[in-house]
Protein backbone atom coordinates (compact mmCIF):
# COMPACT_ATOMS: atom_id res chain seq x y z
CA UNK A 1 0.00 0.00 0.00
CA UNK A 2 2.74 2.46 0.95
CA UNK A 3 4.63 1.59 -2.22
CA UNK A 4 1.60 2.54 -4.35
CA UNK A 5 1.13 5.83 -2.43
CA UNK A 6 4.82 6.67 -2.90
CA UNK A 7 4.75 5.80 -6.62
CA UNK A 8 1.67 8.01 -7.11
CA UNK A 9 3.32 10.88 -5.25
CA UNK A 10 6.59 10.44 -7.17
CA UNK A 11 4.74 10.37 -10.50
CA UNK A 12 2.96 13.66 -9.62
CA UNK A 13 6.28 15.23 -8.64
CA UNK A 14 7.83 14.24 -11.95
CA UNK A 15 4.96 15.79 -13.89
CA UNK A 16 4.68 19.04 -11.93
CA UNK A 17 5.90 22.17 -13.73
CA UNK A 18 7.76 24.06 -12.39
CA UNK A 19 9.34 22.35 -9.40
CA UNK A 20 10.93 24.53 -6.73
CA UNK A 21 14.38 23.55 -5.59
CA UNK A 22 15.61 26.01 -2.97
CA UNK A 23 15.66 29.43 -4.57
CA UNK A 24 16.02 27.93 -8.01
CA UNK A 25 13.39 26.67 -10.39
CA UNK A 26 13.70 23.76 -12.79
CA UNK A 27 11.08 23.97 -15.50
CA UNK A 28 10.11 21.24 -17.92
CA UNK A 29 9.67 22.63 -21.39
CA UNK A 30 7.72 20.66 -23.97
CA UNK A 31 9.21 20.67 -27.43
CA UNK A 32 7.19 20.54 -30.64
CA UNK A 33 7.38 16.74 -30.72
CA UNK A 34 6.45 14.20 -28.09
CA UNK A 35 9.84 14.44 -26.41
CA UNK A 36 10.56 16.87 -23.59
CA UNK A 37 13.71 18.56 -22.38
CA UNK A 38 14.67 19.98 -19.02
CA UNK A 39 15.81 23.59 -19.12
CA UNK A 40 17.59 24.95 -16.09
CA UNK A 41 16.24 28.23 -14.82
CA UNK A 42 17.38 30.52 -12.07
CA UNK A 43 14.75 32.78 -10.54
CA UNK A 44 15.69 35.92 -8.64
CA UNK A 45 13.17 37.20 -6.10
CA UNK A 46 12.48 40.94 -5.86
CA UNK A 47 11.42 40.54 -2.24
CA UNK A 48 15.12 40.02 -1.44
CA UNK A 49 16.81 41.65 -4.43
CA UNK A 50 14.61 44.60 -5.48
CA UNK A 51 17.26 46.52 -7.46
CA UNK A 52 18.74 43.41 -9.11
CA UNK A 53 15.36 42.07 -10.22
CA UNK A 54 14.32 45.50 -11.48
CA UNK A 55 17.50 45.68 -13.59
CA UNK A 56 17.02 42.15 -14.98
CA UNK A 57 13.29 42.61 -15.70
CA UNK A 58 13.70 45.97 -17.43
CA UNK A 59 16.66 44.64 -19.44
CA UNK A 60 14.59 41.68 -20.62
CA UNK A 61 11.66 43.98 -21.42
CA UNK A 62 14.07 46.06 -23.51
CA UNK A 63 14.96 42.99 -25.56
CA UNK A 64 17.89 41.40 -23.78
CA UNK A 65 17.57 37.61 -23.79
CA UNK A 66 16.24 35.49 -20.94
CA UNK A 67 18.22 32.48 -22.18
CA UNK A 68 21.94 32.89 -21.61
CA UNK A 69 25.06 30.84 -22.30
CA UNK A 70 27.73 30.55 -19.63
CA UNK A 71 31.38 31.31 -20.27
CA UNK A 72 34.10 30.19 -17.88
CA UNK A 73 36.91 32.02 -19.68
CA UNK A 74 38.34 34.48 -17.10
CA UNK A 75 39.57 36.86 -19.81
CA UNK A 76 36.13 37.00 -21.45
CA UNK A 77 34.43 37.54 -18.08
CA UNK A 78 36.83 40.40 -17.21
CA UNK A 79 36.35 41.97 -20.65
CA UNK A 80 32.56 41.67 -20.29
CA UNK A 81 32.63 43.25 -16.83
CA UNK A 82 34.87 46.09 -18.02
CA UNK A 83 32.64 46.73 -21.06
CA UNK A 84 29.46 46.86 -18.97
CA UNK A 85 30.65 48.26 -15.62
CA UNK A 86 33.86 50.13 -16.41
CA UNK A 87 34.28 53.79 -17.32
CA UNK A 88 31.51 56.07 -16.00
CA UNK A 89 30.00 53.22 -13.97
CA UNK A 90 33.25 52.46 -12.13
CA UNK A 91 33.85 56.18 -11.50
CA UNK A 92 30.32 56.68 -10.20
CA UNK A 93 30.54 53.64 -7.91
CA UNK A 94 33.77 55.05 -6.44
CA UNK A 95 32.20 58.49 -6.03
CA UNK A 96 29.06 57.14 -4.34
CA UNK A 97 31.02 54.88 -2.02
CA UNK A 98 33.15 57.85 -0.96
CA UNK A 99 30.07 60.01 -0.39
CA UNK A 100 28.23 57.26 1.48
CA UNK A 101 31.23 56.42 3.66
CA UNK A 102 32.18 52.91 2.64
CA UNK A 103 31.92 50.25 -0.02
CA UNK A 104 28.16 50.04 -0.17
CA UNK A 105 27.35 50.29 -3.89
CA UNK A 106 28.34 48.11 -6.85
CA UNK A 107 27.67 47.84 -10.57
CA UNK A 108 25.21 45.17 -11.73
CA UNK A 109 24.96 44.12 -15.35
CA UNK A 110 22.47 42.08 -17.32
CA UNK A 111 23.29 39.97 -19.24
CA UNK A 112 25.80 38.69 -16.69
CA UNK A 113 29.53 39.09 -17.31
CA UNK A 114 29.82 35.29 -16.93
CA UNK A 115 27.77 34.75 -20.10
CA UNK A 116 28.53 35.08 -23.79
CA UNK A 117 25.71 37.65 -24.01
CA UNK A 118 27.40 39.85 -21.38
CA UNK A 119 29.66 42.81 -22.05
CA UNK A 120 28.96 45.61 -24.50
CA UNK A 121 25.22 46.02 -24.93
CA UNK A 122 24.39 44.83 -21.43
CA UNK A 123 22.14 46.96 -19.25
CA UNK A 124 24.02 48.24 -16.21
CA UNK A 125 22.81 49.83 -12.99
CA UNK A 126 24.51 50.75 -9.75
CA UNK A 127 22.91 48.78 -6.92
CA UNK A 128 23.56 48.09 -3.23
CA UNK A 129 26.66 45.90 -2.85
CA UNK A 130 24.81 43.45 -0.59
CA UNK A 131 22.30 42.70 -3.36
CA UNK A 132 25.06 42.17 -5.91
CA UNK A 133 26.92 39.84 -3.54
CA UNK A 134 23.78 37.80 -2.82
CA UNK A 135 22.98 37.53 -6.53
CA UNK A 136 26.55 36.50 -7.35
CA UNK A 137 26.43 33.79 -4.70
CA UNK A 138 23.09 32.51 -5.96
CA UNK A 139 24.32 32.45 -9.56
CA UNK A 140 27.55 30.66 -8.63
CA UNK A 141 25.64 28.09 -6.58
CA UNK A 142 23.19 27.62 -9.45
CA UNK A 143 26.03 26.98 -11.92
CA UNK A 144 27.59 24.43 -9.58
CA UNK A 145 24.46 22.59 -8.46
CA UNK A 146 23.15 22.32 -12.03
CA UNK A 147 26.51 21.45 -13.63
CA UNK A 148 26.34 24.42 -15.99
CA UNK A 149 29.81 24.61 -17.45
CA UNK A 150 31.33 26.50 -20.34
CA UNK A 151 28.78 26.73 -23.16
CA UNK A 152 25.89 25.61 -20.95
CA UNK A 153 22.52 27.29 -21.52
CA UNK A 154 20.13 28.43 -18.82
CA UNK A 155 17.21 30.79 -18.41
CA UNK A 156 16.88 33.77 -16.07
CA UNK A 157 13.53 34.71 -14.54
CA UNK A 158 12.37 37.18 -11.90
CA UNK A 159 9.48 37.21 -9.46
CA UNK A 160 8.07 39.90 -7.17
CA UNK A 161 9.76 42.64 -9.20
CA UNK A 162 9.07 46.08 -7.69
CA UNK A 163 7.71 48.89 -9.83
CA UNK A 164 9.90 51.96 -10.38
CA UNK A 165 7.82 54.00 -7.90
CA UNK A 166 8.60 51.41 -5.20
CA UNK A 167 12.35 51.97 -5.53
CA UNK A 168 14.69 54.82 -4.68
CA UNK A 169 16.03 55.40 -8.22
CA UNK A 170 18.30 58.15 -9.45
CA UNK A 171 20.82 59.18 -12.07
CA UNK A 172 24.35 60.22 -11.09
CA UNK A 173 26.83 61.31 -13.78
CA UNK A 174 24.42 59.98 -16.41
CA UNK A 175 24.45 56.52 -14.78
CA UNK A 176 21.32 54.80 -13.42
CA UNK A 177 21.40 54.10 -9.68
CA UNK A 178 19.06 52.07 -7.48
CA UNK A 179 19.56 52.76 -3.78
CA UNK A 180 16.99 50.19 -2.66
CA UNK A 181 13.31 50.05 -1.89
CA UNK A 182 11.32 53.03 -0.61
- Residues 119-162 have pLDDT tens digits of 999 999 999 999 999 999 999 999 999 999 999 999 999 999 99
| 8 found inside a domain | no
Return phi, psi of residue 176, to 5°: -75, 135
Q: Which of 92, 121, 105 is nearest to 51 (CA)?
A: 105
| 7 found inside a domain | no
| 43 found inside a domain | yes
d(CA 130, CA 106): 9
| 171 found inside a domain | yes
pTM reported for the whole predicted model: 0.79
Residue 170: enclosing H or E segment and its boundaries?
strand 167-172
State which residues form the domain around 57.
17-181
| 156 found inside a domain | yes
| 5 found inside a domain | no
| 131 found inside a domain | yes
- Counting the structural domains of the chain, the total is 1
Tens-digit pLDDT profile for residues 30-47: 223 333 345 699 999 999
Question: Which DSSP string do the residues of 11-70 spell out, in sequence order?
Answer: HHHHH-SSEEETTEEEEEEE-SSS-EEEEEEEEEETTT-HHHHHHHHHHHHTT--SEEEB
| 10 found inside a domain | no
Amino acid sequence: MYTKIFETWLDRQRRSVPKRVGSFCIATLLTSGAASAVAQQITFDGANLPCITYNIATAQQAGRPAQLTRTTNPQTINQNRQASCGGAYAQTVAQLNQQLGGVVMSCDEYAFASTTQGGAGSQSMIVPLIENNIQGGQLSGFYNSNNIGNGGNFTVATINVPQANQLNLGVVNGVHVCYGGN
